[in-house]
Chain A
Amino acid sequence: MSLIDLANPTKFLALTARILPWLTAATAILLAIGLYQSAAAPDDYQQGATVKIMFIHVPNAWLSMFVWGVMSLAALGTLVWRHPLADVAAKSAAPIGAAFTFLALVTGSLWGRPMWGTYWQWDARLTSVLILFLMYLGLMALWRAVEDPSRAARAAAVLTLVGAINLPIIKFSVDWWNTLHQPASVLRMGGSTLDRAFLIPLLVMAIAFTLLFVTLHLAAMRNEILRRRVRSLQMMQASQKAA
């Protein structure tokens, strides 16, 4: 099956039906390994056992930006290439991205209280991620507010691309401004500053959560294609009755 074949929703559904069980199994296995390694990881000399929150906070934070990146590519697919599945991909990803962003904010807050002495600080990193969460909610509201899917798709695609400006702001906020949030310690020039005892469980959890996103996204795309089929059949039914 070539890439162009995936533009056909029926072929996409057939592919999804074949790979979803394998993806689900791989996600479950990697999550189990990651959780075991997170539990077995030693305490940090400064943070103590609170470091275990990082193993779920960082993957959620990484995915909050990655999902918007996926939606931005899909937005280009809608506006430039008019790919039939681009809007389906973007619309299906938004609630999943919102959930990951919410979890990144809440787990960060629960880590911040014992470590920083506060649940929340209006610093550049935390504020820009909160803005990202609000943008996810805004996009979801836009899709629900506009009845015609093609009009909603174009408006949402423009908003998604404008919102993508926030991604480098989030990433580099800790370098550009003086923030309470610590600078990058995994993806940075000169390599990771984390000890292997923390880095390996963190990477396993990050891969597991990314696989979880891919699995949920494909399943949500399948639902959206079926929802559009329901809509077109209902319109056919209405026109048959009118005739």
Chain B
Amino acid sequence: MSLGPYASFIVTSYALVALVLVILIGWIVLDYRNQTRRLRALEESGVIRRSGRSAVDL
């Protein structure tokens, strides 16, 4: 596959989209881990929801 004289523009575009999407996905995954870790820590310290159900269990 030849990308012609403007290959650098095409490759940069695809690389940038991949980079931003990886950052976005990584941020969402890390945020999920962070929130579940904080909820577990709170529950272990004895703070529970009014319903009595675990805040982490889905």
Interface stretch, picked from A75-83, A96-104, A139-147, is A96-104
B28 CB contacts on chain A under 8 angstroms: 216, 219-220, 223
Would you call A233 and B3 a contact (CB within 8 A)? no
Query: How near does chain B come to A182, taking the closest CB pair, in angstroms?
Result: 18
Would you call B4 and A49 a contact (CB within 8 A)? yes
B49 CB contacts on chain A under 8 angstroms: 229, 232-233
Interface size on A, residues (CB 8 A): 42
Query: How near does chain B come to A69, taking the closest CB pair, in angstroms?
Result: 19
Would you call B58 and A39 a contact (CB within 8 A)? no
Most chain B beta carbons < 10 A, residue from A56, A113, A240: A56
What is the bound-complex CA distance between A226 and B47, given in angstroms?
A: 15
Interface size on B, residues (CB 8 A): 37
The SS class assigned to the A binding surface is: helix
What is the bound-complex CA distance between A113 and B13, given in angstroms?
A: 12
- Does A57 touch B at the CB level, under 8 Å? yes
Would you call B32 and A219 a contact (CB within 8 A)? yes
A240 CB contacts on chain B under 8 angstroms: 47
Closest to B2 in A: A49
Contact residues of B with A, CB < 8 Å?
A: 1-7, 9-10, 12-14, 16-17, 20-21, 24-25, 27-29, 31-32, 35-36, 38-39, 42-43, 45, 47-49, 53, 55-56, 58
Sampled A-B contacts (20; CB under 8 Å): A14-B58, A39-B1, A48-B4, A50-B6, A57-B13, A95-B27, A99-B20, A99-B24, A107-B16, A107-B17, A110-B12, A226-B35, A226-B39, A227-B31, A229-B39, A229-B55, A230-B35, A233-B43, A233-B49, A236-B47
